[in-house]
Chain A
Amino acid sequence: MRKTLSLLLFSVLVTVGVSAWSAEKTLKLGVIAELTGDMPAVGTSCKNAAELAVKEINAAGGLQVGKEKLKVELVVEDNAGKAEQSAAAAQKLITQDDVLAIVGPNASRYAIPASEIAESNETVLITPWSTNPKTTLDVNTNQPKKYVFRACFIDPFQGGVLAKFALEKLKAKKAAVLYDVASDYNKGIAEVFKANYEKLGGKIVAFETYTTNDKDFSAQLTKIKAAKPDVIFLPNYYSEVPLQVQQAKRLGITTPFIGSDSWGSAELLKLGGADLNGYYFSTHYAADNAAPVAKKFIIDYEKAYGAKPDDVAALTYDAFGLLFNSIKTAGKADREAIRAALSTLPSYKGVTGDMKFRADSRDPIKSAVILQIKDGQFTYFTNANP
């Protein structure tokens, strides 16, 4: 199945390539994904969804730009799970491949450096999954970046959702946090959670850190155990969370855990298995409770890749939806026109729900969902707003 698909894709690419050679115009779009490194599942979902979105639009004859219909050509770059390679990939896509716009990277610690390159080269970049405010915010001027957009909500929102959920739904008066202090995403959301939780009357009894690639958390978890929290918040990536939960259980910790959207990869279940049963995390969409527009995407994705699309896949698909929409509105294949169209878009109905945009911000307004891990499945639990 996969082979025929990649063959098909290959032939599509070849046709696109040949037609480009025969001087037919195409729309070149770039993708930066974490295909190798510490979160390959994220990059693979992103690449799969991007290829699906492009295949659909090309199957329909291409994208209507002004008077003509143009085929879309995709250039995928791997950032190897490295910040510097993300910046280099953005540079290459913009200057060498001459793409119109970029989708990705996904993790904030890669999206932030790539966004700086896109901004200074005046090329639109939409990150599907990066929730750190700094991705779309110029920290020097405190103004939104002109060329950087995203398809997801941001951490201040998510942190608020989780703080409220822990206090009201889980009735947890005391919380502990263990987070990666060297990673933008983890650090950002941990701090927002702490601020919101304390504002709502909760008490943070332990606020512990570690550094990316650490495998032993026993010292921090022993500290957390001594502080006797009611809930432990782990805003960390899917390859680390299972280790943290397993080590906590070995130290005799029975407190429930909660997490953020970085948990939402099917890999989490493979790596963590039964240890994670019953825990909750906030994320962008629930495949088992999706809007009607999402149904077709979920079915097509499952057919093409043999797995349910995770949140990265859904958000990447939405990022492409936003991009196609604004290219159509712009009416010409021009970077500046795309930016103008995207920044005045009032709302968009995506597979991850309805998004609203404000003129003074690059961040969509949308709601989060809380999922529960039940019998090795992500199960819809509730919708959430702070």
Chain B
Amino acid sequence: MSEGIVYWLQQMLNALQLGSIYALIALGYTMVYGILTMINFAHGDVFMVGAFFCFLAATYLGLPFVPTLLLTMIGAALVGALLERLAYKPLRNAPRVSAIITALGLGLFLENFTLALAPYPKHIPPLLENVTWDMGGVSLSSLQVIIIFLSLGLMFLLDYIVHRTPVGMAMRAISWDKTFVPLMGVPVDLIISVTFAIGAGLAGAAGTMYALAYPVIDPYMGIMVGWKAFISAVVGGIGNIRGAMIGAFILGGVEIMVTAFFPSTYRDFVAFTLLLLLIVVRPYGILGKPRTQKV
């Protein structure tokens, strides 16, 4: 293979890895928005908490990869459901802005709570023996393969849950109409908790994979990554699950490719200009549909 193609393929792989992580987090934003039309700004910090659960499980319990991943996902899901029950549920009928302020406050709470317990950046021990394969100049690491396929697997699982199971049907129903669905016997509170738990569980999985790929974690790591995942969700069409995945891979791709061919300082500037243009052309995101206000 010529050097140009090798370079390009390598950067594509880098982009897939980054995009997978953004996608897992973006799903949490989009699910909560889809069901409650509320943006859970604490979600990026749930991702951070997930990475710290992974640290605890790997360091103090000495667990291998699979139990660590499962424990982290369960832990993050519990945190997500707990946040919903304690902080968002009492505000469900309050003005929209109260819920958003609460979400921002919860984010700050999670960051500073973690900071108080762990002021130093933490190192995640390598849970998996990394192997790097050389394929005609393109390096593929076992970690990359795991991140990309595990993310895709979780996304397909989520897509299946939402579109093919009774729980998913209930979620879609609540997102469609919150007034009449409870009358049909759908346990709205439970379904909303489950939605938060699933979103947070995926953020926990993202936290684990992020911690494996970038094994130095700190309490503020969720802020920027969370914003980027949120933007991915908006670009893909917030509320739409497949859109969030597409948006995340686009953002990951643009970020890597801009850095690959321009100075790194152009990255966020070019990436966000492109995304703004995309929003101008498609105001509801790539797969989003305008919601008509029902009177």
Contact = CB atoms under 8 A, between A and B. Distances in A.
A, B co-complexed? yes
Contacts of B83: none
B273 interface: no
A177 to B, nearest CB: 12
A219 B259 contact: yes
B119 interface: yes
Given A250-B141, A271-B123, A215 B264 contact: no
Nearest to B264: A209
A80 to B, nearest CB: 10
Contact of B265 (A181, A243, A247): A181
A242 interface: yes
Contacts of A223: 7, 259-260
A36 B115 contact: yes
A36 B220 CA distance: 12
A250 B119 CA distance: 28
A40 B216 CA distance: 14
B121 to A, nearest CB: 5
A189 to B, nearest CB: 18
A219 B215 CA distance: 18
Nearest to A216: B18
B60 interface: no
Q: Main SS of the interface on chain A?
A: helix
Interface residues of B, number: 39
Given A213-B224, A219-B259, A270 B123 contact: yes
Contacts of B120: 40-41, 267
Nearest to B3: A226
Nearest to A252: B139
A35 B263 CA distance: 33
A280 B216 CA distance: 21
A15 interface: no
Contacts of B214: 215-216, 243, 247
B18 A218 contact: yes
Which of B3, B115, B134 has its CB near the most chain A CB atoms (within 10 A)? B115
A252 B131 CA distance: 10
A213 B220 CA distance: 9
A44 to B, nearest CB: 9
A349 B10 CA distance: 52
Interface in B213-237: 213-216, 218, 220-221, 224
Which of B130, B143, B210, B259 has its CB near the most chain A CB atoms (within 10 A)? B259
A247 B17 CA distance: 12
B132 A243 contact: no
Interface string A228-250: 00000000000110110011011
Interface string B119-159: 11101000000101010000101011000000000000000
A242 B220 CA distance: 18
Nearest to A35: B119
B216 A243 contact: yes
Contacts of A41: 120
B14 A273 contact: no
A122 interface: no
A21 B141 CA distance: 65
Nearest to B120: A40
Interface string B180-202: 00000000000000000000000
A250 B123 contact: no
A218 B264 contact: no
A213 B121 CA distance: 12
B143 A250 contact: yes
Contact of B216 (A220, A225, A239): A239
B94 to A, nearest CB: 33
A284 B134 CA distance: 40
Which of A223, A250, A270 has its CB near the most chain B CB atoms (within 10 A)? A250
Nearest to B219: A36
Contacts of A210: 264
A181 B264 CA distance: 9
Contact of B11 (A219, A239, A240): A219
B256 interface: yes
A250 B132 contact: yes
B50 to A, nearest CB: 15
Contacts of A226: 3, 6-7
Contact of B123 (A35, A215, A273): A273
A216 to B, nearest CB: 6
Contacts of B210: 215
B14 A38 contact: no
A96 interface: no
Interface in B251-277: 255-257, 259-260, 263-265, 267-268
B143 A215 contact: no
A38 B121 contact: yes
Interface in B100-123: 115, 119-121, 123
Nearest to B13: A218
Contacts of B256: 218-219
A239 B143 CA distance: 21
Contacts of B141: 250-251
A6 interface: no
B215 A222 contact: no
A208 interface: yes
Interface string B69-113: 000000000000000000000000000000000000000000000
Contacts of A243: 214-216
A120 interface: no
B10 A222 contact: yes
A211 interface: yes
A273 B215 CA distance: 11
Nearest to A241: B216
20 contacts: A40-B120, A209-B264, A211-B264, A215-B216, A215-B221, A218-B17, A219-B11, A219-B259, A219-B264, A220-B259, A222-B11, A222-B14, A226-B6, A239-B218, A249-B132, A250-B132, A252-B134, A252-B139, A271-B121, A273-B123
Interface of A: 35-36, 38, 40-41, 181, 208-211, 213-216, 218-220, 222-223, 225-226, 239-240, 242-243, 246-247, 249-252, 267, 270-273
- A-B CB proximity, top 4 nearest: A252-B139, A219-B259, A218-B14, A215-B214
